[in-house]
Structure 1
Amino acid sequence: MNLDIVAAFTYGILAFIGGIIGYIQAKSLVSLLSGSISGLLLILAAYFQLQGQTWGSILALIVTAVLVVVFGFRLVKTRKFMPAGLMTILGIVALGVMVNQMVALR
């Protein structure tokens, strides 16, 4: 299993769990929906990458990039490390792993 698959799967699990926690703590339906959708998309992308589907890598890259931007803006707006700062940092790491793997394959 490649490191980019692990990164996509792990970040997807974190996004999914984060959405549930956001709903439980703040009763935020937006957190639940966005965390669930983005988390499931990343988990599916990791699964399709595992199956050898190239578009799974592209999907994981796009979803992760969007999440990094969203959490980055939220971090600037709220100036709170949890959850925006943590998810931004973890997203940048995951994005770096994914891009590195895509470059290495070319």
Structure 2
Amino acid sequence: MNLSIIAAFAYGILAIVGGIIGYIQARSKVSLLSGSISGLLLILAALFQLQGQTWGSILAVIVTAVLVVVFTLRLVKTRKFIPAGLMTILGMLALGVMVSQMVALR
């Protein structure tokens, strides 16, 4: 198991938990739905990577990049570090790990 798989799995769990927290605190169904979908996609991408399917890492990079953009836009709009800033930073870290693993495997 490489760091890319761990990063995809961990960021997926964070996305799901964040969506649940967003729903509990603000009754935001959008947070629950988007957090669950993106989190499950990241977990599936990690599982596909475990099976040796290279497109799993591509899926993880795409989903993580989209989340980084979404959370960056939300941070600019709300200026609140939690959750947007935290998820942006963690997403950039996860994305860096994923891309560096992809480059190292080539």
TM-score of the alignment, normalized to the shorter chain, above 0.5: yes
- Unpaired runs of at least 5, structure 1: none
Could you tell me which residue of structure 2 aligns to residue 20 of structure 1? 20
What is the rounded CA distance, in whole Å, between the counterparts of 1:48 and 1:68 in structure 2? 22
What is the rounded CA distance, in whole Å, between the counterparts of 2:62 and 2:96 in structure 1? 12
> Cα distance, 1:23 vs. partner?
0.2
What stretches of structure 1 move > 4 A for 4+ residues in a row? none
What is the rounded CA distance, in whole Å, between the counterparts of 2:36 and 2:50 in structure 1? 21
Alignment of 1:23-102 (within 5 A): 23-102=23-102
> Cα distance, 1:12 vs. partner?
0.1
Cα RMSD after superposing both structures: 0.3
Could you tell me which residue of structure 2 aligns to residue 6 of structure 1? 6
Q: Which amino acid is the alignment partner of residue 50 of structure 1?
A: L
The secondary structure found in structure 2 opposite 1:5 is: helix
What is the rounded CA distance, in whole Å, between the counterparts of 1:3 and 1:32 in structure 2? 27
User: What percentage of residue pairs aligned between the two structures are identical?
Assistant: 86
Aligned residues: 106
Q: Which amino acid is the alignment partner of residue 58 of structure 2?
A: I
CA offset digits 1:62-82 (Å, max 9, x no partner): 000000000000000000000
